[in-house]
Chains A and B, each alone.
Chain A
Amino acid sequence: MNFYQFSSPATFYSFAGRIAPWFAAAAAVLAIVGLWIGFAVAPTDFQQGEAYRIIFIHVAAAWMSMFIYLVMAFWGMLALAFNTRLSAMMAQALAPTGALMTFIALWTGALWGRPTWGTYWAWDARMTSELILLFLYFGIMALRSAIDDPRRADRACALLTIVGAVNIPIIYFSVQWWNTLHQGASVSLSAAPKMASIMLLGMLVMTFAAWFYTIAVALWRVRAIILERERGSGWISGMQGIAA
């Protein structure tokens, strides 16, 4: 398969339209299975009771929030190095979903923390880094909307994403360091409870559900972005259902 043909927005538009529904369907199925495992099948936790079940959503969202950012940084590097429009559009399409995942991770983390450790928020490395990741996502989206020229916005956001990608591990490490120095003052949320394998399976299924959801949504979103940015091109007016 010649991959270069996909670097043309016109070709990618129809390709994305064909495969996105499959990913959406797979995501729906996996989500139903995962939620069923998490809320019906998995046993009640000995220490944490029923409240722990939100971890099935939390872990999937947290993993995706970081994974999406890395994928955005990858597309950003391609966009800067090869100046391809589609790479930048993919990064643009992923950002809102990444922010959503981060947001969900933060909220579910807080809801999990309250009954488990008695506090909605603890300044541990993971929650703090997740919060800053949310700010990074917002920063990228804010920068894109503040710059009028799409090409300049592409490249500026790509650079910002890459700088942030270097920064996130440093932030994580620094907050962890800060916490170990202030031991006793905060609760460590990184100590995960022992997992029965059924729980691990549930989390894995949910993570895949979140991944396929992200792919489907990003493909649909990038189609909208392609239409908006390529509206001067001839190939759009030739399509069915689009008024010239």
Chain B
Amino acid sequence: MTGALALSDNETPFGVGAALRWAVVRDLRLALRSRAELGVQLLFYVIVVSLFPLASSPDRTLLATMGPGVIWVAALLASLLSLPRLFASDFTDGTLEQIALSPFPLPALVSGKILAHWLTTGLPIVVLAPMLGLQYGLDAEISGIVMLALLIGTPILSLLGAIGAALTLGVRGGGSLLALLVLPLYVPVLIFGAGAADAVRAGLSVSAHLSLLTSGLLIALVGAPLATATAVRIALD
């Protein structure tokens, strides 16, 4: 074909970096304009954590034992709650189609969206964790480990959750179905993440837990965007 239809001066190469940047910037901008929704999800996280002591007993030893697990479960639930918005609005207004038809690699675009999702959902969970740990009387060392484990684990939640969110796009019973599909995937993250705090309390080394979490994160970083991109294409079929 003629030069008029070749890559013109202001066209960029179809790179991963450009794709990531496009998706992260756009999704962050959109999230910041729907701040109320983000606030509600965070509030849910805080409320769930605060409910558990009321349901059992304010015994300090019990709380200290329960604390990390409760924070983790609440983080899981809050993550589940926030997953639909990853793709749902793009799906209904036709943007997701445009994203899938873009010359940019779809896994890269999807990764950008997941990164923005984590920044607006997972990162606040990590930051709030020590404060919530106070409710359970967690000392500084344990709080620190909980935070670190959440820092490694919450991106995994976003990555795995994205697969479920894409699979259930526009499907009946979305939210609960999404939970059914994604929670089994979350189990290892929960075990290693919450287990790290237990290890500290037992005086053992946490390095094994954290290394396993980190390997999980690396596997998810490679596999989840591909699986999610496939699921998006299936949903648009």
User: In the complex, A226 Cα to B184 Cα: how many Å?
Assistant: 31
Whole-angstrom distance from the CB of B61 to the nearest CB of chain A? 16
Residue of A nearest to B173 (CB): A146
Contact indicator B173/A163 (Cβ below 8 Å): no
Q: A152-B237, A160-B181, A163-B163 are in contact. Are A146 and B168 (CB under 8 A)?
A: yes
Q: Which residues of A contact B180 (CB under 8 A)?
A: 135, 138-139, 142
Residues 42-85 of chain B: 1 if any A CB is under 8 Å from the residue's CB, otherwise 0? 00000000000000000000000000000000000000000000
A58 within 8 A of B: no
Whole-angstrom distance from the CB of B200 to the nearest CB of chain A? 12
User: In the complex, A152 Cα to B168 Cα: how many Å?
Assistant: 11
Chain A binder among B8-16, B20-28, B188-196: B188-196
Q: Which residues of A contact B168 (CB under 8 A)?
A: 143, 146
Q: A152-B235, A167-B185 are in contact. Are A174 and B163 (CB under 8 A)?
A: no
Select which of B187, B202, B231, B237 is within 8 A of A159 by beta carbon: B231
Contact indicator B234/A152 (Cβ below 8 Å): yes
Whole-angstrom distance from the CB of A130 to the nearest CB of chain B? 12
Contact indicator A177/B167 (Cβ below 8 Å): no
Residues in B182-237 with C-beta less than 8 Å from chain A: 183-185, 187-188, 191-192, 195, 198-199, 202, 204, 212, 216, 223, 227, 230-231, 234-235, 237
Interface residues of chain B: helix, strand, loop or mixed (majority):
helix
Interface residues on B, range: 20 to 34
User: In the complex, A181 Cα to B183 Cα: how many Å?
Assistant: 23
Contact indicator A135/B199 (Cβ below 8 Å): no
Q: Which residues of B contact A178 (CB under 8 A)?
A: 191, 195
A110 within 8 A of B: no
Q: Which of B168, B180, B191, B227 has the most CB of A within 10 A?
A: B191
Residue of B nearest to A147 (CB): B171
Whole-angstrom distance from the CB of A184 to the nearest CB of chain B? 12
Contact indicator A146/B192 (Cβ below 8 Å): no
Whole-angstrom distance from the CB of B38 to the nearest CB of chain A? 28
A71 within 8 A of B: no
Residues 148-174 of chain A: 1 if any B CB is under 8 Å from the residue's CB, otherwise 0? 010110011001101110110011011
Interface residues on A, range: 20 to 34
Residue of A nearest to B224 (CB): A163
Whole-angstrom distance from the CB of A232 to the nearest CB of chain B? 19
- For the A-B complex, the count of residue pairs with Cβ-Cβ distances under 8 Å equals 80
Q: A147-B171, A159-B234 are in contact. Are A174 and B187 (CB under 8 A)?
A: yes
Q: Which residues of B contact A142 (CB under 8 A)?
A: 173, 177, 180-181
Select which of A80, A143, A152, A177 is within 8 A of B181 by beta carbon: A143
Q: A146-B173, A146-B177 are in contact. Are A136 and B184 (CB under 8 A)?
A: yes
User: In the complex, A126 Cα to B113 Cα: how many Å?
Assistant: 36
Residues in B135-193 with C-beta less than 8 Å from chain A: 163, 167-168, 171-173, 177, 180-181, 183-185, 187-188, 191-192
Select which of A136, A138, A170 is within 8 A of B188 by beta carbon: A170
Contact indicator B191/A143 (Cβ below 8 Å): no
Whole-angstrom distance from the CB of A12 to the nearest CB of chain B? 24
Whole-angstrom distance from the CB of A218 to the nearest CB of chain B? 23
Q: Which residues of B contact A174 (CB under 8 A)?
A: 187-188, 191-192, 212
Contact indicator A181/B198 (Cβ below 8 Å): yes
Q: A143-B177, A152-B234, A174-B192 are in contact. Are A163 and B171 (CB under 8 A)?
A: no
Q: A156-B234, A181-B198 are in contact. Are A143 and B167 (CB under 8 A)?
A: yes
A100 within 8 A of B: no
Contact indicator A135/B183 (Cβ below 8 Å): yes
Q: A152-B237, A174-B192 are in contact. Are A159 and B184 (CB under 8 A)?
A: no
Residue of A nearest to B195 (CB): A178
**Could you show 30 A-B contacts with beta carbons less than 8 Å apart?**
A80-B230, A132-B184, A139-B180, A139-B181, A142-B177, A142-B180, A143-B177, A143-B181, A146-B168, A146-B171, A146-B173, A152-B235, A152-B237, A155-B234, A156-B234, A156-B235, A159-B167, A162-B227, A163-B163, A164-B185, A166-B223, A170-B188, A171-B184, A171-B187, A174-B187, A175-B187, A177-B192, A177-B195, A178-B191, A178-B195
Interface residues of B (CB under 8 A from A): 163, 167-168, 171-173, 177, 180-181, 183-185, 187-188, 191-192, 195, 198-199, 202, 204, 212, 216, 223, 227, 230-231, 234-235, 237
For the complex of A and B, the 4 pairs showing the least CB-CB separation, nearest first, are: A174-B188, A174-B191, A155-B234, A139-B181
